Amino acid sequence: MQLEQAPSSSALAMGIGLLPDARQAPSPHCDDRPDGVAADLLVIHNISLPPGEFGGPWIEQLFLNRLDPEAHPYFATIAGLRVSAHLLIRRDGERIQFVDLCRRAWHAGPSCFDGRSACNDFSIGIELEGADSIPFTDAQYHALATVSQQIMQRFPAITAQRITGHSDIAPGRKTDPGPAFDWDRYRALMQGKG
């Protein structure tokens, strides 16, 4: 298998990995992809902080390494995590980009897809503000379809068959995006049928 060439440092400098409709909030929780490796997988997640609650600055603060462990009892258990995603889509459809798409975000943890481990090396991670059993919003589905199409245009190795959930690359360890995520609706929107 031949690997797609990773973007050069000049490509990074030109911002091809920055999405135009996303607010930029650069996370320190990222690094360079391995030499010669470009993204060829899109991973869908969900997150809510505190669990099951929406709104507030907590997700952004976690990804920016600014989460106050005393702001909520749950935060003391996660305050030391060094995690991020490339993009967060809030309940109202707002997009916040934490990591340039050409760089490696720390979103997948121990993972495997199609026989390849360490999915962070070759994937782009999108977090939806949500929970496994709570339906996602119309605004989120539309924003997710739009950004997925933008990503696929910039990274042609990411095809519809190479979009998956966190639960699929880390089975038994992760459950997101969960049973409330409507894969059929998302795919229909991606095809312009929604």
Q: Is 53 a catalytic residue?
A: no
Residue pair 17/101 in contact by the 8 Å Cβ criterion: yes
Catalytic residue among 60, 94, 127, 129: 127
The single residue listed with the structure tokens 């106050």 is 68
Q: Which residues contact 96 (CB under 8 A, 6 or more apart)?
A: 22, 23, 24, 25, 60, 87, 88, 90
For residue 28, the number of C-alpha atoms closer than 13 Å in the C-beta half-sphere is 7
Catalytic positions, please? 127
